[in-house]
Amino acid sequence: RTTTMAPYQREFLEFSLGEGVLKFGSFVLKSGRTSPYFFNAGLFSSGSALHKLGRSYASAIMDSELVDEDGKVKFDVVFGPAYKGISLGAVVCAALYSDFGIDAGFAYNRKEAKNHGEGGILVGSSMTGKRVLIVDDVITAGTAIRESYDLLGSIGATPVGVAIALDRAERVSLDDPLSAVQAVARDMAIPVISIVALPQLQEYLRLSPGYGEDVLKQVKEYRSKYGV
Question: Letter for the amino acid at 81?
Answer: P
Catalytic: which of 30, 72, 114, 217? 114
Note if 114 is an active site residue: yes
Q: Which residues in the 13-42 window bind ligand OMP by CB under 6 A?
A: 29-31, 38-40
Q: Which is nearer to ligand OMP, 6 or 29 (CB)?
A: 29
**Alpha carbons 169 and 138: distance in angstroms, whole number:** 10
Query: In the range 164-183, which residues lie near ligand OMP by CB under 6 A?
Result: 180
**Residue with Cβ nearer ligand OMP (60 or 165):** 165
Q: Whole-angstrom Cα distance, residue 27 to residue 33?
A: 8
Min separation Cβ 21 and ligand OMP, Å: 9
The reply on whether position 195 binds ligand OMP by CB under 6 A is no
3-state secondary structure of 186: helix
Cα–Cα distance measured from residue 36 to residue 180, given in angstroms and rounded to the nearest whole number? 19
Q: At residue 221, what are phi and psi to the nearest 5 degrees?
A: -65, -45
User: Binding of ligand OMP at residue 162 (CB under 6 A)?
Assistant: no
Specify the 3-state DSSP secondary structure of 99.
helix
Distance from C-alpha of 157 to C-alpha of 96, rounded to nearest angstrom: 21
Q: Is 143 in the site for ligand OMP (CB under 6 A)?
A: yes
225 carries an active-site annotation: no
**Which run of H or of E encompasses 218?**
helix 212-226
β-partners of residue 161 are: 133
Residue 228 is a binding residue for ligand OMP (CB under 6 A): no
- Minimum CB separation of residue 78 from ligand OMP in Å reads 17
85/124 with CB nearer ligand OMP: 85
Instruction: Give the binding site for ligand OMP (CB under 6 A).
Output: 29-31, 38-40, 137-144, 180
